[in-house]
Amino acid sequence: MNFLRTCLALLSVLLCSPVLAFSQAPTLSSISPTSVLPGTQVTFTGSGFGATQGSGTANFNNQTAASIVSWSDTQVVATVKAGTVGGLASITQNGAKSSGISFTISPNPSIASLTPTSGAVGSSVTISGANFGTTQNNSTVAFDGTLASSITSWSAASITATVPAGASSGNVVVTLGSVPSNGVNFTVVPNITSLSPTSGAVGTPVTIIGTGFGPNQGSNSTVSFNGVTGTPTSWTSSSITVPVPSGATTGNVVVTVGGAASNGVTFTVPSGGFVATVGQMDSSRYGQTATQLMSGRVLVAGGMTASGVVNTAELYTASTQTFVAANAMNIARWLHTATLLNDSTVLLAGGSSVSGQTTLNSAEIYDPVAGTFTLLPSTLNTARAGHTATLLTNGQVLIVGGYDPATGIIADAELYDPIAQVFIDLGNTNSPRFHHAATYSKTAKC
């Protein structure tokens, strides 16, 4: 009887006590992919994973994942950790572990060939090899470090990718997870899409638009106009500006980068005739002088405008075909002369300050370094306009003839000595003359 009472008491305790709760193990039905590399993202599919990760883990052969990309009750995406070896993959939640599904560590990706081995940005390249994985997943293709954003096909042995903008010549590498393949060289060929303008004389700035030019010119990068190499003033991966070089003729413009030549685009260089400059002078003028300086720039000084004789001056730059204002002369003049001296300065002499009324005996020196005009203390022996001024081998300047309203056409000649900065009278020539020409000859007298 006592034994019976004891059994009933124990049964009562068990029946009245709360039921102990045991965590149910997650159910893992599949993983994808099953052949992985460190860095590969693996999708776990099943149930009972928990709406949030909480204390849950994704396991690869009892080693936790490097990171969890996403977690839901039916799907977990996790990244394989470096150093993982093949075995069973599982999900653990609240201390309960799912059954395991087998996975293996893939061999490293390997590139065998590229087809083609060169091409422009935007062209399609087929990468042949092994162990690329059946789908791209989080794997990448890079052209010399620039990721391809467009992958049109992906299989374990072949990938088709588009050469990305900004790519340069170098190795193509396929990376699965965090494991890179061997590199195989690919040459990015420059491609010209347009020229602006499409025609122009020597010195005309031309802007070349395209792809694959490289971020800067580099030692093996050139631009040629029908075979004549130009000197670019700016260079980016998609735009080059270069003046038409001396000696260029009509034909193809070609950009060469690292020995790889672009397509050719026709540029027309007019043969003979005159072509308007890109820029214009600040004011219309005639009777002015235009003197090429030793720097290559051209000094335009004085002349007659709609408002009368002016003392203004401008500088023309051939490479940009533009005019910029220079400092003004001390005296307004036209029908004068301007002679480049051996020390790179310019002698401006005589001329007229009023239309057909008054001639000048003054002269001034232009200094291209300082950019200033300085009036000479000495003057011509004879005021004159429409005369000639010729530089001689000894550095002196021969000034001949001209016109003065008071005396008519002039026969007198004189020499300018740049060292003493004085004018030396030579007396009359055989005949008075003006608006004539005087040319220095190495074998005869002027």
d(CA 183, CA 162): 17
* Positive or negative: CA dihedral 146, 149, 150, 153: positive
Q: What is the pLDDT of residue 10?
A: 47
Residue with tokens 């790179």: 344
CB atoms within 10 A of CB 223: 25
For 340, 350, 364, 376, the CA distances from 361, given in Å and listed in that order, are 19, 5, 10, 11
One-letter amino acid for residue 150 of the chain: S
Nearest residue to 360 via CA among 352, 368, 372, 371: 352
- Tell me which of 151, 167, 188 is where a domain ends: 188
Segment 160-184 shows an average pLDDT of: 92
Q: What is the pLDDT of residue 273?
A: 67
Claim to verify: residue 253 and residue 377 sit in the same structural domain: no
Please count the residues of the chain. Answer: 446
Claim to verify: residue 139 and residue 243 sit in the same structural domain: no
Mean pLDDT estimate for the chain: 91
Claim to verify: residue 304 and residue 416 sit in the same structural domain: yes
Full-model pTM: 0.49
| Contact call for residues 73 and 53 (beta carbons, < 8 A) | no
Claim to verify: residue 313 and residue 418 sit in the same structural domain: yes
Phi/psi of residue 43, nearest 5 degrees? -100, 120
pLDDT bracket for residue 355 (50, 70, 90): low
d(CA 378, CA 304): 25
Residues with Cβ < 8 Å from 305, sequence gap 6 or more?
283, 284, 285
Q: What is the pLDDT of residue 277?
A: 79
Q: What is the pLDDT of residue 218?
A: 83
Number of domains in the chain: 4
pLDDT bracket for residue 11 (50, 70, 90): very low
Claim to verify: residue 115 and residue 39 sit in the same structural domain: no
Task: Output the CA angle 86-90-94, nearest 5 degrees.
Answer: 145
Q: 3-state class of 307 per DSSP?
A: coil
Segment 387-394 shows an average pLDDT of: 96
Claim to verify: residue 33 and residue 100 sit in the same structural domain: yes
Segment 361-372 shows an average pLDDT of: 97
d(CA 277, CA 238): 26
Lowest mean pLDDT among 19-28, 39-48, 397-406: 19-28
d(CA 355, CA 332): 11
What is the DSSP-derived secondary structure letter of residue 15?
Answer: H
Phi/psi of residue 307, nearest 5 degrees? -95, 0
Claim to verify: residue 202 and residue 86 sit in the same structural domain: no
Task: Output the CA angle 289-294-298, nearest 5 degrees.
Answer: 35
Lowest mean pLDDT among 165-169, 238-242, 400-404, 416-420: 165-169
Claim to verify: residue 115 and residue 227 sit in the same structural domain: no
Whether 440 is in a domain gets the answer no
pLDDT bracket for residue 5 (50, 70, 90): low
Segment 373-395 shows an average pLDDT of: 97
Whether 9 is in a domain gets the answer no
Helical residues (DSSP H) of 37-191, grouped into ranges: none
CA dihedral 140, 143, 146, 149 (to 10 degrees): -50
d(CA 360, CA 78): 93
Residues with Cβ < 8 Å from 414, sequence gap 6 or more?
380, 381, 382, 399, 423, 424, 425, 426
Q: What is the pLDDT of residue 64?
A: 96
Whether 14 is in a domain gets the answer no
Claim to verify: residue 122 and residue 68 sit in the same structural domain: no
d(CA 423, CA 34): 99
* Positive or negative: CA dihedral 419, 424, 430, 436: positive
Residue with tokens 């026969």: 411
Question: Containing domain of residue 258, as a range?
Answer: 191-267
Claim to verify: residue 144 and residue 32 sit in the same structural domain: no
CA dihedral 261, 265, 271, 275 (to 10 degrees): -120
Q: What is the pLDDT of residue 16?
A: 43
* Cα Rg, the chain, nearest whole Å: 43
Segment 63-72 shows an average pLDDT of: 96
Whether 358 is in a domain gets the answer yes
Helix (H) or strand (E) holding 5: helix 2-16
Residue with tokens 């203004």: 312
Whether 401 is in a domain gets the answer yes
Each residue's pLDDT tens digit, 302-328: 999 999 999 999 999 988 889 999 999
- Tell me which of 105, 140, 161 is where a domain ends: 105
| Contact call for residues 64 and 42 (beta carbons, < 8 A) | no
Whether 275 is in a domain gets the answer no
Segment 78-83 shows an average pLDDT of: 92
| Contact call for residues 363 and 301 (beta carbons, < 8 A) | no
Whether 314 is in a domain gets the answer yes
For 7, 52, 137, 351, 407, the CA distances from 357, given in Å and listed in that order, are 146, 101, 90, 11, 12
Claim to verify: residue 57 and residue 101 sit in the same structural domain: yes
Each residue's pLDDT tens digit, 253-264: 999 998 889 999
Q: At 84, which CATH number?
A: 2.60.40.10
pLDDT bracket for residue 23 (50, 70, 90): low
Each residue's pLDDT tens digit, 224-240: 999 999 999 999 989 99
Whether 209 is in a domain gets the answer yes
Long-range CB contacts (within 8 A, 24+) of 273-282: 275/200, 275/201, 275/204, 277/316, 277/321, 277/322, 278/204, 278/205, 278/320, 278/321, 278/322, 279/320, 279/321, 279/322, 279/323, 280/323, 281/314, 281/323, 282/312, 282/314, 282/323, 282/325
How much of the chain, in percent, has pLDDT values that exceed 90? 77
Claim to verify: residue 45 and residue 118 sit in the same structural domain: no
- Tell me which of 78, 105, 132 is where a domain ends: 105
